[in-house]
A and B are shown apart, each in its own frame.
Chain A
Amino acid sequence: MASKGVCEEKKDADNNEESDVVPDFEPGASLESMLVTTDSFEELEQEMDSSFDERQMKESTTSTISEIQEELNDTTVPEDSSSEQDDKIIENDEVEEIASQLSETSLTSNEDANAAATPVGSLPEEDYWQNPEWKERKKHVFILSAAGKPIYSRYGTEDKLVTIFGVMQALVSFVQTNQDTIRSIHTGNSKFVFLIKGPIILVSVSRTTESVSQLVLQLTYVYNQVVSVLTSSQLNRIYEQRRNYDLRRLLAGAERLIDHLLNFMEREPAFLLGAVKCLPLTPSVRDSITQTIVQTCGKIKNLVFAILLAKSQLITLVRMKKYFIHPADLHLIFNLVNSSESFKASESWTPICLPKFDSSGFLYGHVSYLSDDCQACLLLLTVDRDVFFTLSEAKQKIVEKLRRSNCLEAINESVNRPSYTASQVGVPEMRHFLYKCKSTAQFWSPALEPPYHTTEESQRLLGLYQALHHHLHAASRPLKLLHQQLDKETMLGWVTSGFELYVTFEPLITKHSAINAVNKLLRWIKKEEDRLFILNAPTF
């Protein structure tokens, strides 16, 4: 529902614009998508919020991974499936055994290592959380167990913050005793946002301009990251067995994934938009890369996804028929690849849980960079943990074929080429924009140019987009079009059934020229759409 003024503006725009921009004009739109698309932020948020619980309820009967495995078992020889089951049994026993062993052992080595790594860690315990540097952080994120045990703190060591964790747990359980759930506390310019997810509690303490729902979304991503490392079934089982379990033991080495994810979310609009950016490539090159993967891997039965990415941008994605990947899962994969230098040294065989795909189990990923001279990362995700060598061989063949067809070169060229800038679009008053195509869950944005080239300014810009996004998607009063004249820039947001567009203009632009500029921009995106977006949804 848009306000009256906004409606009028839109009508004006239609009248004034002599061009062919029709209401259902959607650059980048496609009938098929390899990504799970969600219609709006509200839905995404809701979905992010609810799906786990639903999934957990259904878990015993349906799991996407076991579904695929069952299908495979129909075609594989019985011996194989029985050996697979053996593995599973070992795994479960093993996990339980370890879980019980671990909870007895102390954490001393970890504490020492952490204390040495953080300079503030050397402060006396009682002063630690009064440390000004710690207090002045803009956004703290904490994870604790329902029993109040510290699991993660974005800054500083959890052990030195036990009292604070105690307070957080007390707040949560105090509200719970009244059969209610604490969502957020607002004081001065700080927001305390809580998210309770089964056996763990996530808390964000923020002095940024982000809205509560945006902070909840971030916490949900953090939870997803934890699930991606452990699976929800393992997480729940552990706490069912031992309410007091110290989860840091199992998350050891994964804190950096959470750290990296939080920083990633602070500079990437992808999370806000719930969409993925593609590496610009000429359609013929992208098709030939896709076909190479399809042809090489087509006969590998249990392969679910093949994902090729570079610089947090998708090059191509091939999927098993019937199965789709959620942008939120893809973001976690980007985060994993970006924060793991070790993938560059060799081929890896990595268990990855994709929470939106199936939070109850692991997929196994053959992860490798294409070659020393092409820094694109290929992930081959399967449900079968015994096919490393099959996938390794397939990867080599893919690289050979891509090299012969000059695709490696084309990827390098695109990676190294400076990205389009807003000025190349030919609208001088426009500084920057975000365009999301809803039907494919893909988005595109130009490179940041002055004045937004510094970290500080680029974060301010993302803040402006967040605020704009929040106004447009406010649950109580969603808008279709919003024109904001601010001190340093003018922002325009436009949400239609097909796309979402967020544009930053020079501060003094008139509404009329802003609308004209937007139409010009949409035509430009339409012209470039087959380079900027993946318009098909290939399967094996």
Chain B
Amino acid sequence: MRTIEAKVVVLGAQGVGKTSMVVRYVGKMFSHHISPTIGASFFTCRLNVEDTRVKLQVWDTAGQERFRSMAPMYYRNANAALIVFDITQYETFDAMKTWVKELQRNVLEPMVLSVVGNKTDLESRRQVTREEALQYAASIGGNYFESSAVNDEGIEDVFLNTAIGLIRLAQDSLCSSLRIYDLSDPMSPVSSVGNESGVGQNHHSLQMTSVEHAEVERPRLCC
């Protein structure tokens, strides 16, 4: 059994539900009174997909404009990105595209891109059609998901597919910042050593995964 450790960044305009999504997935709950993220929040979670354990270090970033200059430090060396928009606000779809462009410009390593249209519980106020979003996601080589953090719909899929994407990335071993460990000796990487600069100082990450309140572990079967 192998362990893959990956850095995931969640991006998108303010108020689209980035934190709600992550908290729903990691913490299994939803709050209507969540306050805007200031800076960024850090979560860890683990998934088992077939014979591989995937550890995700999730950076949930703030959507407000004033934090935009901080974003590079979170997407630098990221292996996957969840780019979220609100299906009831067309301008958040445009903002999502801006994020994709910024990632394409600044991240040279291959990464798993997932476009997420959140708030499907507000279907009646939808402004972005599924087709348009699907088409866009395909054009950038990413997956498209729709989700509702309120009703807990589609969010498991987002993370599961991200994990599967990361496993593929690891198999192609295209990505030097992705860390792969042999389970028998989790402290020593069996393959490529990542870039050690920046926030994602990976050698700390093993201890990080035991943050109690932000940990999920669930068995996963992949088809």
Q: Are B204 and A393 touching (Cβ within 8 A)?
A: yes
Per-residue CB contact flags for chain A residues 94-106 toward chain B (1 = under 8 Å, else 0) read 1100100010000
Given contacts A336-B38, A348-B39, A386-B198, whether A252 and B214 have CB atoms under 8 Å apart is: no
Indicate which residue in A339, A386, A392 contacts B208 across the interface (CB closer than 8 Å). Answer: A392
Bound form: Cα–Cα A385–B211 in Å: 21
Q: Taking A83-B197, A388-B199 as contacts, is the C-beta distance between A253 and B207 under 8 angstroms?
A: no
Residue of A with least CB distance to B71: A94
Which residues of B sit under 8 angstroms from A393, Cβ to Cβ? 204, 207-208
Known: A348-B37, A348-B41, A349-B40. A95 touches B69 (CB 8 A): yes
Cα A388 to Cα B199 with chains together (Å): 6
Q: Pick the contact of B199 from A91, A371, A386 — CB < 8 Å?
A: A386
> Which residues of A, 335-369, contact B by the 8 Å Cβ criterion?
336, 339-342, 345-351, 364-365
Q: Check: B35 CB closer than 8 A to any chain A CB.
A: yes
> Shortest Cβ distance from A470 into chain B, in angstroms?
35
Assembly CA distance A336 to B36 (angstroms): 12
* Contact between A346 and B213, CB atoms less than 8 A apart: yes
Query: Which residue on chain A has the smallest CB distance to residue B106?
Result: A90
For B19, the closest partner residue in chain A by CB is: A342
Beta-carbon contact of A347 and B39 below 8 Å:
no
Does B43 interact with chain A (Cβ within 8 Å)?
A: yes
Name the one of B23, B31, B69, B199 contacting A90, with C-beta atoms under 8 angstroms: B69
Q: Does B122 contact A (CB under 8 A)?
A: no
Chain A residues whose C-beta falls within 8 Å of the C-beta of B176 in the assembled complex: none
Tell me, rounded to whole Å, the shortest Cβ–Cβ distance linking A452 to chain B: 29
Cβ-defined contact, B40 with A256, below 8 A: no
- Would you give the shortest CB distance from A371 to chain B, in whole angstroms? 7
Contacts of A350 in B (CB 8 A): 38-40
> Which residues from 49 to 102 on chain B have a C-beta closer than 8 Å to any C-beta of chain A?
60, 62, 64-70, 72-73, 89, 91
How long is the Cα–Cα vector from A254 to B35 in the complex, in angstroms?
Answer: 10
Would B213 and A250 count as touching, CB distance under 8 A?
Answer: no
Among residues of B, the one whose C-beta sits closest to the C-beta of A229 is: B66
- A244-287 contact mask (Cβ, 8 Å, vs B): 1 or 0: 00000111111010000000000000000000000000000000
Residue of B nearest to A253 (CB): B36
**B205 at interface by CB-CB < 8 Å:** yes
Q: What B residues does A95 contact at CB under 8 A?
A: 68-69
CB pair B35–A341 under 8 Å, yes or no, is yes
CB of B212 closer than 8 Å to a CB of A: yes
Query: How many B residues have CB within 8 A of the partner chain?
Result: 44
B27 within 8 A of A: yes
| CB interface residues, A 384-433, toward B, < 8 Å | 385-386, 388-390, 392-393, 396
Residue contact A256 to B66, C-beta cutoff 8 Å: no
> How far does the alpha carbon of A98 sit from the alpha carbon of B95 in the complex, in Å?
13
Q: Smallest distance from the beta carbon of A348 to chain B beta carbons, Å? A: 5
A456 within 8 A of B: no
Question: Given A249-B65, A250-B65, A386-B198: A347 and B38 within 8 A (CB)?
Answer: no
Interface residues of chain B: helix, strand, loop or mixed (majority): mixed
B191 interface contact, C-beta 8 A: no
Knowing A83-B197, A98-B68, the reply to whether A341 touches B33 (Cβ < 8 A) is yes
Which residue of chain B has the shortest Cβ distance to A257 in the bound complex?
B38
Interface-central residue, B15, B26, B38, B70, by most chain A CB under 10 Å:
B38
* Beta-carbon contact of A98 and B40 below 8 Å: no
Contact present for A389 and B201 (CB under 8 Å): yes
Residues of chain A within 8 A (CB-CB) of B37 are 342, 348
Interface centre among B35, B91, B212 (most CB of A within 10 A): B35
Residue pair B65, A98 in contact (C-beta under 8 Å): yes
B221 CB contacts on chain A under 8 angstroms: none
Bound CA–CA A364/B40 (angstroms): 11
Q: A252-B65, A389-B205 are in contact. Are A342 and B70 (CB under 8 A)?
A: no
Query: Would A385 and B73 count as touching, CB distance under 8 A?
Result: yes
| Minimum Cβ distance to chain A for residue B204 (Å) | 4
A342 close to B38 (CB less than 8 A)? yes
Is A252 touching B39 in the complex (CB atoms < 8 A)?
no
| Contact residue among B64, B205, B208, B212 (Cβ-Cβ distance under 8 Å from A252) | B64
Would you call A253 and B69 a contact (CB within 8 A)?
no
Name B43's closest neighbour in chain A (CB-CB).
Answer: A346
Known: A230-B66, A372-B213. A386 touches B38 (CB 8 A): no
- Nearest CB in chain A: distance from B39 CB, A: 4
Q: How far is the CA of A266 from the CA of B66 in the complex (A)?
A: 28
**A15 contacts partner chain B, Cβ-Cβ < 8 Å:** no
Q: Is B161 an interface residue (CB 8 A)?
A: no
Determine whether B222 belongs to the interface, using a CB cutoff of 8 Å to chain A.
no
Q: Which residues of A contact B19 (CB under 8 A)?
A: 342, 345
Bound-state CA distance A91–B73 (Å) is: 10
Determine if B72 and A349 form an interchain contact, defined as CB atoms under 8 angstroms apart.
Answer: no
> Are A347 and B31 also in contact (CB < 8 A) when A109-B91, A252-B65, A253-B36 are?
no
* Chain B residues packing against A (C-beta within 8 Å): 14-15, 19, 23, 26-27, 31, 33-43, 60, 62, 64-70, 72-73, 89, 91, 197-199, 201, 204-205, 207-208, 210-214
A interface residues (Cβ-Cβ under 8 A, vs B):
83, 87, 90-91, 94-95, 98, 102, 109, 113, 229-230, 249-254, 256, 336, 339-342, 345-351, 364-365, 371-372, 385-386, 388-390, 392-393, 396
Closest 5 CB pairs of A and B: A350-B39, A389-B204, A253-B36, A346-B41, A94-B69
